Copies of this chain bind each other. A is one copy, B any other.
Amino acid sequence: MKRRVAVLGATGIVGQRFVQFLADHPWFELELVMASERSAGKIYAQAVTWVLEKPIPKKAYELKLYPIDIDLVAKEKIDIVFTALPADVAKELEPQLAKKGIIVVSNASSMRLESDVPLLNPEVNADHVDAIEVQRRNRGWSGAIVKVPNCTTAIATLSLKPLVDVFGVGKVIVSTMQALSGAGLTGVPSMFILDNLIPYIEGEEEKVENESRKILGIFNGNNIEFNKEISVTASCHRVMVLEGHTEAIFAELKSKTSMDEIIKVMEEFKSNKIKNMGLPTAPEKPIVVRREIDRPQPRLDRLEGNGMSIVVGRVREDKTLNGVKYVVLGHNTIRGAAGTGVLIAELLVKKGYA
């Protein structure tokens, strides 16, 4: 039987992606869309400024848009809520939903670093999901809150995971060229970015540096321990690209290897944490490695694996760091937000949490 799901914050750009992934999902039925007061009362298609590459799914077109309302969520017997809300709103609201027995899959940055809150990038750390049990014990909830990582971090950690497992990773430098969609529908005025770039994204660098160590850490049965071997430093920049974050990554490796070997472990990294689970949104190849000298490129590669694969290119030796440098691209509102959110929800269903 299909789970009844809702999207909170359904008109923003991540909300649109949630709606796109959920409208025709085999396991989920999109029952409810909510957004700010301003657009409430309209039907979804009228209220949203839709910007995705494909039209609004037919099932979502006529959905009535409600203002954010926890009681209505409960009354509608929603099993899973997907949130794309501002962090301060989410911080207040999500615990109330969890208390009411609802599973919250949240794209908001609040609570991401708390040790009993799974911060899931499923192919990397699906096993952290069991921290839900600790969370329920700690907080007395019948529902749960699970967090989607920051977009840049989701992409970076998926590319780093096979290196961490096989060679060990120490220092990591991440320099990003991030898409406009990451700032939301109206976040970056065109007068500010045309023939320009903006070398600052609020809070982003700290998120990459901290969340990476949690995602690449270990759940020890009681809490999630941050990875202590790895040390990440980031510089984050906005460029004139619609969708797709590109990251230049430089990583110190603990053991010597060849570039061919690195490419091999990346290509063979087959979603090990969720292997054979049959999750519908899991891409066949989480990491695609391209050999062309000038790839990955956002416009050409961002929809690889339906937007759920990351694309790595330019794998080359880094003598300064005794390691490797490469470029990785991921779709920021799919792999880095809504797509991973839906994949998490599928994992929760499979593991019996939802």
A residues with CB within 8 A of B: 13, 49-51, 53, 171-173, 175, 177, 180-181, 185-200, 231-233, 235, 237, 239-242, 246, 248, 250, 293-300, 303, 313-314, 318-321, 325, 327
> Among B190, B231, B233, B296, which residue has its beta carbon within 8 angstroms of that of A194?
B190
User: Shortest Cβ distance from A125 into chain B, in angstroms?
Assistant: 21
Contacting pair A240 B242 (CB below 8 A): no
Within 8 Å CB of A194, what residues of B? 180, 190, 194-195, 240, 242, 299
> Among B193, B241, B293, which residue has its beta carbon within 8 angstroms of that of A200?
B293
Within 8 Å CB of A296, what residues of B? 199
User: Shortest Cβ distance from A246 into chain B, in angstroms?
Assistant: 6
Within 8 Å CB of A327, what residues of B? 199, 235, 237
Contacting pair B242 A191 (CB below 8 A): yes
> Among B13, B233, B242, which residue has its beta carbon within 8 angstroms of that of A319?
B233
User: Shortest Cβ distance from A40 into chain B, in angstroms?
Assistant: 21
Instruction: List 19 additional A-B contacts (Cβ < 8 Å) besides A173-B175, A186-B189.
Output: A175-B248, A181-B191, A185-B191, A187-B189, A188-B190, A195-B240, A196-B241, A196-B298, A196-B300, A197-B239, A197-B246, A198-B294, A198-B297, A199-B296, A199-B327, A200-B293, A233-B318, A235-B314, A237-B248
Within 8 Å CB of A198, what residues of B? 294, 297
Number of identical monomers bound together in the oligomeric complex: 4
Closest B residue, CB atoms, query A298: B196
Q: How far is the CA of A313 from the CA of B200 in the complex (A)?
A: 10
Within 8 Å CB of A240, what residues of B? 190, 194-195, 239-240
Closest B residue, CB atoms, query A304: B55
Contacting pair B200 A321 (CB below 8 A): no
> Among B180, B196, B235, B299, which residue has its beta carbon within 8 angstroms of that of A196?
B299
Contacting pair B51 A53 (CB below 8 A): no
> Among B50, B177, B191, which residue has its beta carbon within 8 angstroms of that of A239?
B177
**21 A-B pairs in the complex with CB atoms less than 8 angstroms apart:** A13-B191, A49-B192, A51-B191, A171-B320, A172-B320, A173-B321, A181-B191, A188-B189, A189-B190, A195-B241, A196-B241, A197-B241, A197-B298, A199-B294, A199-B314, A200-B293, A200-B314, A231-B320, A232-B320, A235-B314, A235-B325
Contacting pair A233 B248 (CB below 8 A): no
Contacting pair A233 B177 (CB below 8 A): no
User: Shortest Cβ distance from A236 into chain B, in angstroms?
Assistant: 9
Closest B residue, CB atoms, query A317: B233
Closest B residue, CB atoms, query A296: B199
Q: How far is the CA of A187 from the CA of B186 in the complex (A)?
A: 9
Contacting pair B239 A239 (CB below 8 A): yes
Most B CB atoms within 10 A — which of A195, A232, A293, A327? A195
Within 8 Å CB of A313, what residues of B? 199
Q: How far is the CA of A298 from the CA of B193 in the complex (A)?
A: 10
Contacting pair B299 A173 (CB below 8 A): no
User: Shortest Cβ distance from A187 into chain B, in angstroms?
Assistant: 7
Q: How far is the CA of A343 from the CA of B210 in the complex (A)?
A: 45
Known: A246-B197, A299-B196, A327-B199. A233 touches B180 (CB 8 A): no
Contacting pair A233 B320 (CB below 8 A): yes
7 tightest CB-CB pairs across the interface, nearest first?
A175-B175, A233-B320, A235-B248, A196-B299, A200-B294, A186-B189, A190-B190
